[in-house]
């Protein structure tokens, strides 16, 4: 465990933010460099079949040390971090004994991590936690998962008395922009089931996630001089606002929780002449998901009737689906993880993911892959933090899953 924090601090200082604006894979060349560095580390630890492909996917094997025939299992994390907040010059701060009050992350800029605003901090009084310096994200999503998997493999190598079957690990690029499973070779990975170590606070285990779609909408207006605009001008930005008002106003992220879905306006760039907007659409229920997409299509059709055919162009693409229907037939893999948590003193918290993971798409590619906690909070923001004990428990759970799988 002594190298866990050392690894994590080293990893988060490498800026591997993925970039949706490019089609290359990985989208950030530093992801490939980081994967190659990890490969060298894994070889030094003694893992086998260590390989990084040209797209930045890293796979490695910890061979079985038992004569029993047991399922091969996998553990997966992603090496990219979110583009939502800068990951340049990450400077983590360790608070050795959180005292239950405000943490001044950046005195100069008056950036404060407050238990009043983030009450989850109160669960970690007396514990060491790692935060940002208030100017960047931390990158615990998912550098914590990477560090935990590597440390768990090191622990198993150093403790051969713990019997386990074949273990495969994989680190993927570009998960944060929805492409982490795009080029994942399930057949090559060669396991019966796997877990992404990409969840939030300690104890989380998730096998339900949103059905997801992305909508890109182009609105073509008609720009004429405002002095002669009467009955002629079509202000594309106002048309975009009209479209937004026609969507259910209570079905937004800020008004929803648990199993409630939403429409989320993620981009708005416009002039009078032309406006481009983007939405993501989310719902756990397949029928509700279809309803949400159909409503947006009908709104666009209505506005085109009102303002002229071709005024609004909609591109609607499904991104991923709820993994629940793929996990329920193999529910023993959830029970295995639950038992591992209980035996390591972790209270399981089964909850739906209000998002998606590589595991959701991999489950539909034939690899059942629920999601387990990595321990972090406030992902994608300058207020991101992670308790060190939660990271240590994630390592223990990974080791225990491997051990219980071999019994």
Give phi and psi for 343, each to the nearest 5. Answer: -75, -15
Helix H, strand E, coil C: the string for 91-106 is CCEEECCCCCCCEEEE
Instruction: Kindly name the residue from 141, 175, 198, 396 that is annotated as catalytic.
Output: 175
Region of 38 please: left (phi>0), alpha (psi -120 to 50) or beta: alpha
Extended beta strands in 24-108, E state: 48-52, 58-62, 73-78, 93-95, 103-106
Read off the tokens for 310: 């071709």
Is residue 328 annotated as part of the catalytic site, yes or no? no
**Contact call for residues 303 and 312 (beta carbons, < 8 A):** yes
Read off the tokens for 264: 């989320």
**Contact call for residues 74 and 187 (beta carbons, < 8 A):** no
Instruction: Kindly name the residue from 80, 176, 283, 358 that is annotated as catalytic.
Output: 80
Q: State how far the Cα of 326 lies from the Cα of 350, in Å rounded to an integer.
A: 17
3-state SS, residue 214? strand
Other beta carbons within 10 angstroms of residue 343's beta carbon come to 14
For residues 344-358, one letter each, b for 16 or more C-beta atoms within 10 angstroms of the residue's C-beta and e for the rest, the string is bebebeebebbbbbb
Is residue 53 annotated as part of the catalytic site, yes or no? no
Give phi and psi for 380, each to the nearest 5. Answer: 75, 15
Q: State how far the Cα of 61 lies from the Cα of 306, in Å rounded to an integer.
A: 60
Residues involved in catalysis: 80, 175
């Amino acid at each position: 465990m002594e190298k866990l924090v050392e690894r994590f601090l080293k990893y988060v200082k490498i800026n591997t933010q993925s970039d949706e604006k490019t089609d290359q894979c990985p989208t950030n060349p530093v992801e490939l460099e980081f994967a190659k560095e990890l490969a060298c580390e894994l070889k030094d630890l003694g893992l086998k079949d260590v390989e990084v492909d040209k797209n930045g996917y890293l796979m490695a094997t910890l061979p079985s040390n038992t004569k029993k025939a047991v399922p091969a299992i996998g553990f997966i994390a992603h090496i990219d971090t979110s583009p939502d907040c800068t990951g340049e010059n990450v400077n983590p701060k360790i608070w050795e004994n959180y005292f239950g009050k405000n943490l001044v992350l950046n005195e100069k800029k008056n950036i404060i991590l407050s238990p009043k605003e983030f009450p989850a901090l109160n669960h970690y009084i007396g514990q060491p936690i790692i935060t940002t310096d208030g100017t960047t994200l931390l990158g615990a999503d998912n550098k914590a998962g990477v560090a935990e998997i590597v440390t768990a493999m090191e622990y198993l190598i150093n403790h051969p008395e713990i019997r386990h079957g074949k273990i495969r690990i994989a680190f993927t690029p570009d998960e944060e922009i929805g492409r982490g499973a795009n080029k994942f070779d399930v057949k090559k990975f060669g396991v019966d089931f796997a877990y992404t170590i990409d969840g939030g606070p300690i104890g989380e285990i998730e096998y339900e996630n949103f059905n997801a779609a992305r909508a890109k909408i182009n609105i073509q207006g008609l720009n004429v001089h405002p002095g002669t605009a009467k009955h002629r001008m079509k202000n594309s930005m106002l048309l975009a606002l009209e479209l937004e008002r026609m969507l259910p106003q209570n079905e937004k992220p800020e008004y929803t929780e648990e199993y409630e879905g939403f429409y989320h306006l993620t981009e708005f760039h416009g002039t009078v002449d032309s406006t481009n907007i983007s939405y993501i659409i989310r719902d756990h229920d397949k029928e509700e998901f279809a309803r949400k997409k159909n409503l947006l299509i009908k709104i666009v059709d209505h506005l085109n009737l009102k303002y002229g055919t071709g005024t609004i162009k909609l591109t609607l693409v499904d991104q991923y689906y709820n993994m629940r229907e793929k996990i329920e037939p193999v529910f023993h893999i959830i029970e295995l993880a639950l038992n591992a948590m209980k035996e390591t003193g972790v209270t399981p918290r089964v909850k739906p993911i209000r998002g998606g993971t590589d595991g959701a798409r991999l489950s539909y590619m034939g690899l059942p892959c629920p999601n387990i906690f990595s321990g972090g909070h406030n992902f994608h923001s300058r207020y991101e933090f992670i308790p060190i004990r939660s990271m240590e428990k994630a390592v223990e759970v990974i080791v225990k899953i491997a051990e219980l799988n071999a019994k």
